Structure 1
């Protein structure tokens, strides 16, 4: 009780401080001990691998924050300065900078920096071209099909990133606008004029993660989104009414599809035209404009009651905004806003968009947006597609400034909430204002195939929360737009990406309701439910992104910088520290109904989650996947924290599941907080350490007492241990006490040993000791890949039943085949015979083709096809092998 009261008082104090200072917690003025000034130049040693370099013709050096770099007051790293003849030298543990004194602006002849790349000295100088930059991201993929814009063939260009294979990068901040440092609300201001240079040099070799950590030290952390943001976002551009939205949610729930966020596209509001066809500027239902702030009462008669309903259903809402057209005279609250701006309007009476003006911005939020927020709107989807630069301040990106103003307004006004924003990328520094809306991609396999690379590469500028239109937006090809297989594979990628939101244009064929694709619906639902199960793992990775600057979704070269395959395997990525994902991004073979994916597995032994196969790393593999299967890999021994089945993320379940593949050891921490609010920036959170070890007869899992306090932290919880790819266990002890047999059921179909504990205090250490039958631990290889085989045998049985029913009502399936298909059932009833049953199945499989041909309905050709369906490794043709060898060389 006292602990809760103390926490409440501390939390309130934190909110008061945060509300008072807002963005001012960052300090753009560097520690004087890190600064070396010499005439017209100033060097600031920010870290051992990051140096700020300034030249000013009037010696006016800038201490204000720029829009990208907001914090320069860092712990001063060890460095030495010396003046040797005409040269000034600054030396850290990693860099040596030399500048020819009194020689003017930086150029090749007067400035150089030496750094290490793979233990070899390299020299950088101004004007050196970064030919190996690994890129960052871009504002939008509007109209693009993969990397090509469909109407003019223009190629999509990504901006430069912060990391390069060359081991260095340079950010020129010279022309970037500044923040004025105002305590009320930090606002944009111009730089002093003159011949000035303001550069940031990153010299890190291939320590890419260190480069990103340094970047977020000076450019701000990657904010942790609220927990609900990691759930499913429903979105579709459609003319929905109140009743239809409620029916949609009811149907989602009836189909057991979890959902957390409802996005309401632009038809929630009235649209006002300003054209000769509409001289009276009255509401209309046509397409003469996008901007609007007044509820369409024909669709939502009582918005307050609708938003009360979403809150009661534990749904978060976001309303779509297109702010560019300004404020029409017919909008609600138009008159008080005009008065706040002293009557400043256009000749037609419209209030012109001017977010760069602080007075305008404050009035805009007070009169246009705050009323909707008070009704219950949780965050905003800003859909800015107009001019990129402000008409009122040269060089100010409208996209960046919208993101900054909306995010920090929410941060200031609602300290009990965690700011969330949904908008496009606005340039370096925009990582501080998540989540990204990637824009209107064309519905095609090419668009899907580009998104894994695009999402992972954005982490090179810290932009870790892209939200794509899962399923695609523009229905250029009507047949593809209604292709259930394409939508399924897009969903599977979306569930294993940072933000999962389905969407489509106002199209008559681009359907986004899963149940409208009955052939693929079960797999779609499974993918969504798996996403929710992974949330503890993803949320921990999101916290680590805040702490370290390493985004959830990142390229392979972060962990394997010295492997060439890490750079060329651009359709796969690491999702957090443990999971490797290589989404299916091409259609399945029409005959086999299996899709092929090539995956590069780094050194080590990897578990293929959907098939149960153990695969050796250090090689490129080529595998075939059914519609149920996703190429997802985890290293043997890894512990993955998960949820049991949940339907919503606003409540924290009173159980945690640890999934583990026997065969190794691991030691992790998983993260928790109350899911919302800004206390996570201080001390309102908790970590739980979990360690696995091999023992003589099995496995020991130790769950250490949880460290930390946060609002609504549970006092007790239960644990479930899932041993994946496991034979049945004989005995389980929890804190020395034996569990009854019904507390550790064996799932033979998935070859998973499930172990349930009772409830334990979070202050208590819990030790789960698992013991196998004598000799069984050494024979785990018998289950390798069998879980996937069991599923495909079950599907084979369905095909044979259909064939039998179609051709002869009295026909049946040969008993030897039924015996193969029933193997997991036999194992479930007789777990002690698991190995002998698996051996029996292995002995029978070579005869399957022969048994199939005894069925009059199955031809020799069909039998070969059915047997091939059970093969997971794809055959590589001679031509493909030559291509692979060429890539390796």
Structure 2
């Protein structure tokens, strides 16, 4: 699919008539995605017979480079046969050799992109940058839509009413360590109103006195040379970091078989590579057919702001991996439609945080708000937390994308890439692999009346850990199993294999440092796991010649101890930080007898403190803060466990406690003022986290008491529901806020009891 412009979910509108009062009448038609280079039949044919070929151009303006030329006349076919059975990984690796691998974008591209179609002034744009920092929202890219230039669809000259001094504006944004992209619609050529009109006419041999426009002609080497030299290079020298080719004006050119978008993407990419050979090129454009993955990032177009659109994007993004196009960027929040529903926008942000590119966008309408801090809570907090979570994940995400350069695998990919023999893997279209180590099933539907949304996910055979709920699953079916779980607004369904160990970071607002300044290594419960942490400078092409660092991470767990070993770093590059702080997190772990670092005992502290360990009860994690680790030497961190009996008892209590505690907090927050003198009962339960963190060795008794008191919570809520029903009957004109709040809390409690009260509910193994 070249674009999702005007799509609603997987449907497009087809006009079928006209109504005098309402205008055109449309029917919505479902569109099916093709499987790309993969097929369950085992073979795929790619027909390139109708495309152009590249050859040396005789035009001196082409400067001896390859140029598109028509196929010679005659009957012939140009076919590529992919015959790999169900070995999807090998098919994609071969596709990468044939059509080109996906290069690694600059690291800042994996941060948050703020974009909105709005005629910002320089003052407003600078204030926006200030607001992002003031609200502690990490961000790396500001995208300025088409109103940066003079009025019109196509433009190359700054609108001085909005930006009196664009050079100063870009300098001030760069001082904040932000990257800036400008929108382009180049198809209309260069009009008389443009600053460079006369120079463009001279470059292509036109008389500026007799023409009003220099036509866009991507097949003319003279035009292409002037297009970059006169229109783009001066702005890049001024401070524009990359361009958004928002192309949507047809797929034909004067050369039969040449898609002008595909050629334009290549020209922009090559121009950047030639001008700055030590820097990674970056463009932001639309799909240009097989091979387009060589020029990331992709823009999926302007969709309708609807739940259907969000629900389609996980499948769409994952399926694009089948054609080696792994860097789709969607308009998070949607484009067309009324003011964004806060819940929909929140869930879209959460999906974006677990997708290739996190970029918000919206239409020109006055109510198309995209600033996260302008939304009411809890949406505001949850969205900002999701963006921060994205930045925490970047060391893992970036490393997985680097591996994809060599393997042909995209960051987001369908479940059947890893499990081609499982029928359910082809049916699980609402979920995807996020790299090798994570399965993500974004919430793409609104919450029910219990404040939770149902998610049905398929997991292959093995032991798994639900990161949001803190629950372990043992899937013993050879075909895997379908699970149904329910998630609060603040929760994202992410699953990892038991024992997984992953790199991350914390406390970062920008991704422009040559090394991750605050490393975090997280180990999830399970017997063993390993991962290779990858790092390079994030900007140059040095990674292509091996200028990078890799660090082996190993996690082991026995009955008596649990360890994370950070191996000695291999490789180097300019700017690599050898010594830095590292935080180790042992998730799903009871408070230990002791913690040792390279054999030396580390003291406990009730709060984060360098050189100490603490207990994070909300995530049931032992957290070890190391102020200075020499990554050339590595380090071994060991948690010495309690006796087997105490450990087994504690593990049974902490399984699912993060999800349970989150729900108790929510019930407490909403009902505390309605429970009168009995509010301390719910407060006591919600404060369990705090008491455990102040004295971790009380965990078993605290969680045992919580489980006992939890069973009586529904009776308490029911009693006060009756009290408030009687009170509200005395004032029938008042809205029933108290009773509706208590009734909603009881519904949440009922589902919570079903999901966390006893053994975790895993649903059944039936397919959807």
TM-score (norm 2): 0.90
Is the counterpart of residue 407 in structure 1 residue 278 in structure 2? Answer: no
State the shift of 1:151 in Å. 5.4
> For structure 1, which segment, 683-692 or 524-533, has the greater mean C-alpha deviation from structure 2 after superposition?
683-692
Counterpart of 1:452? 314
Aligned partners of 1:381 and 1:422 also within 8 Å: yes
Classify 1:223/1:838 alpha carbon distance in 2 versus 1 (closer, same or farther; 3 Å).
same
Classify 1:161/1:697 alpha carbon distance in 2 versus 1 (closer, same or farther; 3 Å).
same
2:752 and 2:701 mapped to 1: Cα distance?
21
Is the counterpart of residue 162 in structure 1 residue 37 in structure 2? Answer: yes
Counterpart of 1:536? 395
Counterpart of 1:579? 438
Counterpart of 2:126? 246
Aligned partners of 1:389 and 1:397 also within 8 Å: yes
Alignment of 1:208-607 (within 5 A): 208-271=88-151, 289-343=152-206, 348-390=211-253, 392-475=254-337, 478=338, 481-519=339-377, 520-589=379-448, 591-607=449-465
Aligned partners of 1:336 and 1:367 also within 8 Å: yes
2:754 and 2:534 mapped to 1: Cα distance?
36
Tell me the alpha carbon deviations over residues 95-144 of structure 1, each in whole angstroms, 9 at most, x when there is no partner.
Answer: xxxxxxxxxxxxxxxxxxxxxxxxxxxxxxxxxxxxxxxxxxx1001011
Is the counterpart of residue 786 in structure 1 residue 649 in structure 2? Answer: no
Aligned partners of 2:523 and 2:564 also within 8 Å: no
State the shift of 1:159 in Å. 4.7
Is the counterpart of residue 839 in structure 1 residue 708 in structure 2? Answer: no
Aligned partners of 2:111 and 2:140 also within 8 Å: yes
Counterpart of 2:730? none
Tell me the alpha carbon deviations over residues 801-822 of structure 1, each in whole angstroms, 9 at most, x when there is no partner.
Answer: 2324xxxxxx223544333222
1:679 and 1:194 mapped to 2: Cα distance?
45
Aligned partners of 1:623 and 1:874 also within 8 Å: no
Aligned partners of 1:139 and 1:424 also within 8 Å: yes
State the shift of 1:717 in Å. 1.8
Aligned partners of 1:144 and 1:150 also within 8 Å: yes
Counterpart of 1:113? none
Aligned partners of 1:466 and 1:498 also within 8 Å: yes
State the shift of 1:729 in Å. 2.1
Classify 1:621/1:873 alpha carbon distance in 2 versus 1 (closer, same or farther; 3 Å).
farther
Counterpart of 2:466? 608
Aligned partners of 1:849 and 1:863 also within 8 Å: no
Give 1:634's match in structure 2, choosing from 473, 487, 496. 496
Tell me the alpha carbon deviations over residues 125-171 of structure 1, each in whole angstroms, 9 at most, x when there is no partner.
Answer: xxxxxxxxxxxxx1001011012123533443535500001111111
State the shift of 1:636 in Å. 1.4
2:31 and 2:207 mapped to 1: Cα distance?
40
Counterpart of 2:84? 204
State the shift of 1:174 in Å. 2.4
1:369 and 1:836 mapped to 2: Cα distance?
67
2:347 and 2:696 mapped to 1: Cα distance?
35
State the shift of 1:189 in Å. 2.2
2:641 and 2:31 mapped to 1: Cα distance?
55
Aligned partners of 2:432 and 2:440 also within 8 Å: yes
State the shift of 1:650 in Å. 0.6
Tell me the alpha carbon deviations over residues 832-881 of structure 1, each in whole angstroms, 9 at most, x when there is no partner.
Answer: 12112212222222222223344434879567425225246499xxxxx9
Q: CA RMSD in A?
A: 2.1
1:523 and 1:323 mapped to 2: Cα distance?
38
Partner SS for 2:318: helix
> For structure 1, which segment, 620-629 or 749-758, has the greater mean C-alpha deviation from structure 2 after superposition?
749-758
Unaligned runs of 5+ in 1: 1-137, 272-288, 805-810, 876-880
1:218 and 1:173 mapped to 2: Cα distance?
12
Aligned partners of 1:345 and 1:352 also within 8 Å: no
State the shift of 1:426 in Å. 0.8
Aligned partners of 1:147 and 1:450 also within 8 Å: yes
1:309 and 1:872 mapped to 2: Cα distance?
54
State the shift of 1:388 in Å. 1.2
Q: Mark the structure with the bigger radius of gyration.
A: 1
Tell me the alpha carbon deviations over residues 62-100 of structure 1, each in whole angstroms, 9 at most, x when there is no partner.
Answer: xxxxxxxxxxxxxxxxxxxxxxxxxxxxxxxxxxxxxxx
Partner SS for 1:187: strand
Counterpart of 1:732? 595
2:709 and 2:199 mapped to 1: Cα distance?
81
> For structure 1, which segment, 348-357 or 487-496, has the greater mean C-alpha deviation from structure 2 after superposition?
348-357
> For structure 1, which segment, 142-151 or 563-572, has the greater mean C-alpha deviation from structure 2 after superposition?
142-151
Aligned partners of 2:527 and 2:558 also within 8 Å: no
Aligned partners of 2:672 and 2:683 also within 8 Å: no
Counterpart of 1:676? 539
Tell me the alpha carbon deviations over residues 543-581 of structure 1, each in whole angstroms, 9 at most, x when there is no partner.
Answer: 011111000000000111111110011010010011111
Counterpart of 2:72? 192
> For structure 1, which segment, 394-403 or 835-844, has the greater mean C-alpha deviation from structure 2 after superposition?
835-844
Counterpart of 2:672? 801
Tell me the alpha carbon deviations over residues 734-785 of structure 1, each in whole angstroms, 9 at most, x when there is no partner.
Answer: 1222222231111112212111123122211211112122234434232111
State the shift of 1:653 in Å. 3.4
TM-score (norm 1): 0.78
Tell me the alpha carbon deviations over residues 652-701 of structure 1, each in whole angstroms, 9 at most, x when there is no partner.
Answer: 33231111112221121111111101111112211111111124422121
1:373 and 1:603 mapped to 2: Cα distance?
51
